[in-house]
Structure 1
Amino acid sequence: MRHLKRTAKLGRTGTHRNAMLNNMVCSLIKHKRVTTTLAKAKAARSVAEKMVTLGKSGTIHDRRLAASRLHQEDAVKILFNEIAPSQKDRRGGYTRIVKLNQRQGDAAQLAILEWVDVPAGGAAAPEAKPEAETKAAEAKA
């Protein structure tokens, strides 16, 4: 019987599913926002929130546990130095899922998985810098 076994299988083996979710959480940590299917976003949300809970305590043991799950040291550093301190006063619910349209090819429901209190600096920040630099260069000329 499958009582109390709520894991979303996602059509993959256990090791493939864990590797995919770990990579998705690493991408979420690095880019602050991930666009994926709704089922994968719901599955990755639990992994991401457990990693933030580890990051909030900040001990070396928790850092090693996060590194063993994520397998990317740069993602672990961002998690413990930027994301976890910004979520320090929250008691849970560190991520949000925003539903999007359906994908053209297979009509899968798309969604955005993002942090609640962390500002998304992925697309807006690089565009703002070149404009400021070009205005400064024009003022000098």
Structure 2
Amino acid sequence: MRHKHGYRKLGRTSSHRAALLKNLSIALINSEKIETTLPKAKELRAYIEKLITRAREGDFNAHRAVFANLQDKSTTNKLVNEIAPKFKERAGGYTRIIKTRIRRGDATQMAYIEFVA
């Protein structure tokens, strides 16, 4: 049972899960809207919102902290210089999840995750 368990395992090892969230984050920052499964989107929301909160500061240490998680220079620059300043006055809730369809192959719930404009 997963009562009060802190995160979704997504059927992966911890290193695979970390890589998955990193790659989903990079894709979301680059395209600003992606479609993925609902559990992945919900787990990604917690991951990316912590990064945005850190990136809102906009200083050198914010760049370092975000880069430590993303390991991608262009994506880090885009997050810190373009996306995070839009949320300067917002107290959380930077992303939106919209349920879309049932995937035909395995009947899983799909969803869009995007930044709130």
TM-score range, shorter chain: over 0.9
1:107 corresponding residue in structure 2: 107
Deviation digits for residues 64-93 of structure 1 (CA, Å, limit 9, x no counterpart): 111010011111000011100111110000
How much has 1:60 moved relative to structure 2?
1.3
- Structure 2 gaps of 5+ residues are none
Residue identity opposite 1:26 in structure 2: I
1:2-17 alignment, distance < 5 Å: 4-17=4-17
| Secondary structure, counterpart of 1:91 in structure 2 | coil
Normalising by the residue count of structure 1, what TM-score does the alignment of the two structures yield? Answer: 0.79
Alignment of 1:62-77 (within 5 A): 62-77=62-77
Letter in 1 for 2:33: R
**Structure 1 consecutive aligned stretches of length 4 or more whose deviation exceeds 4 Å:** 1-4
Q: Could you list the runs of 5+ residues in structure 1 that have no partner in the other structure?
A: 118-141
Quick one: percent identity of the two aligned structures? 44
In the TM superposition, what are the counterparts of 1:46-125 in structure 2 within 5 Å?
46-117=46-117
In structure 2, give the amino acid aligned to 1:48: I
SS in 1 for 2:6: coil
Once residues 6 and 100 of structure 1 are traced to their aligned partners in structure 2, the CA distance between those partners, rounded to angstroms, is 26
Structure of larger gyration radius: 1
CA shift for structure 1 position 59: 2.2
User: Root-mean-square deviation (CA), in Å?
Assistant: 1.4
> What letter corresponds to residue 114 of structure 1 in structure 2?
E
